[in-house]
Structure formats: structure tokens, C-alpha cells
Amino acid sequence: MRRPLLPALVAITLASAVAHGHDMWLVPGDAAPGKPVTVRVNVGTIFPESEHASDTSAFSQYIVAGPKAWTGKLSAQGKDGKSGLLRFDAGPAGVYAVAIETKPKLITLAADAFNNYLITDGLPHIYRLRAKEKTLDQPGRERYSRSPKALVQIGDAQSGDPCRALGLTLEIVPLRNPFALRAGETLGVRVLFRGKPLPEANLGWQRAGDGDLPRGTVRTDAMGEALVPIDRPGLMAIRLTHMTRPRAADYEWESFWTTLTFHIPG
């Protein structure tokens, strides 16, 4: 759980945390077997609202996986208002998984902004390291990339595997079918970083209408697993930021952002 790190930061608590950077979510539209499915690519701090439209033709990976023996392609479809658009042609009824990866970008944040980002995004170990090294007054030179994923239930069939890993650099993998859950249950998830379980990852979850605060947070265990409560039907997202320190020539830190979006049946 997020907690203050120094007396000067006592005011920053879990209840007020998450002035994090801009997440990216994949939000599927109406879906039916054999029909085109439009997926909105939204970027912002308030799920699932979008602050600007991404260029969906500039991603490094486009992935869609459906029921067994189905093959299809995810393609860029331009923009609509503040949303980027993707599309795939659905095959038979079942569960489909859609994901993209963005190309890495460089950014330099002022020292205060970088420190606050570390605290509120569940990266206190990086803050503590900077404090130990007496570099809290230095800007953060960072490279970042995103790998959002969405699950789509098409029709009533239960074919397809919602628990499959798609091979994203950072990925949240459900351990149960979210479309079989109801309010009051929990969803087990596993976090993978470069294909391996990621312990101590700070997961947050949000529902539409929650604003820029998470409904809750939890850290993964030694196996990279955690339980996320399901409190009501509707659109839901789980999010995570992970940071490494490659110390490259033009950046010191590298962050990886991921989200998992799905719809809990009513």
C-alpha cells in the first residue's frame, strides 16, 4: 500500500494518492459475432475519459486473440474526437483479447514533479533510492512506454481464453474469466514483466465515475499475484506502473505502464 516516506510527505496518503501520469485504456464498443468491433484508445487520468487522441498508426505492436482456430487482425482506424480508433473483425462468439504496445518516448520531469510521481504511482522504492543517494533535487530523465489490454465478450459462448498471456512487456493477466464474475466476488490476477512474475507491483483499480483516484490498491505477492474485489457491474480497469534503472546515455529511468479493461456483467 502507498504510505508517506518522510515527515514532509505526511500529507500524502493512500486516500489522496494517484495524481499519476496519463494512463492509456482500450475501451471496446458494441460487439457481435462476425461483425466489426471498434476499440477506442483513450488517454487520461479519469477512467475512461480521454484527453487527446493517439495516433493509432504509430504503435509498435497490435495484438488480437480470439477463440481457438480464429485468426484476425487488429488495425488502426484513425481518430474520433479525443479517441484513437482500432478495429478487428470478430469471428465466432467467445472471449477476445486486444492489446497494443506504444513506442518508447523520452521525457524529463522537474525534481518535485518526478518525486511526486514516484510517491503517488506506487514507486516508493525509487523515491527512497533517490533520497539515499541525495538526488531528490535532480530532475528525472525517463523513457516510458505503454501496453494496454482489453478483454471483450462477444456473444454468449465461453470459448476463448481470457487468462492467456499475450507476451506484452508489462501485462496484467486474469486468473479467472472476468465475464463469469458477479458483484461481491474477487478477481485474481498475475502481473508479468518480460514474461516473468513481478512481485511487489502496486496495482490500482478504477470504475467509470471514480474520478482520478483509485477505488483501491494492492501489491502483488512473491508470485506476482493479487486479488482485486468486484463491487458492482460495469466497465472496470486495473492499472500498474513499473520502473527500472538502465542508466542509459539519454535517460536514467525506464517506466512501463499497463492497464487491463473489461466489463463485469450485470
Task: List domains and CATH numbers for the chain.
Answer: 23-107+138-166+243-261 (2.60.40)
What letter does residue 221 receive in the DSSP assignment? -
Tens of pLDDT, residues 56-86: 999 999 999 999 889 999 999 999 999 999 9
14 has a pLDDT exceeding 80: no
Mean pLDDT of the chain: 91
Question: In the chain, at which residue ranges do the beta strands (DSSP E only) sit?
Answer: 23-28, 36-44, 52-53, 61-65, 75-80, 83-89, 94-101, 105-109, 140-146, 149-154, 170-174, 186-193, 196-197, 202-207, 216-219, 225-229, 234-244, 253-264
**How far, CA to CA in Å, does 220 sit from each of 185, 204, 224, 226, 240?**
18, 11, 5, 5, 11
The torsion angles phi and psi of 110, rounded to 5 degrees, stand at: -55, 155
Confidence of residue 196 (pLDDT cuts 50, 70, 90): very high
Residue showing cell 457491474: 233
Confidence of residue 156 (pLDDT cuts 50, 70, 90): confident
Q: CA 68, CA 28: separation in Å to the nearest integer?
A: 21
Return the amino acid letter for 52: H
pLDDT of residue 104: 97
DSSP of 114-143? HHHHHHHTT-HHHHHHHHHTT-TTS-EEEE
**How far, CA to CA in Å, does 215 sit from each of 14, 228, 229, 236?**
10, 10, 10, 10
Residue showing cell 474477487: 186
- Grouping H, G, I as helix, E, B as strand and the rest as coil, residue 155 is coil
Return the amino acid letter for 227: L
For the chain, give the percent of residues with pLDDT over 70: 92
Q: CA 43, CA 246: separation in Å to the nearest integer?
A: 26
pLDDT of residue 69: 84
Higher pLDDT, 5 or 45: 45
The torsion angles phi and psi of 7, rounded to 5 degrees, stand at: -50, -35
Angle, alpha carbons 14-16-21 (nearest 5°): 100
Query: Is-contact 186 203, C-beta < 8 A?
Result: no
117 has a pLDDT exceeding 60: yes
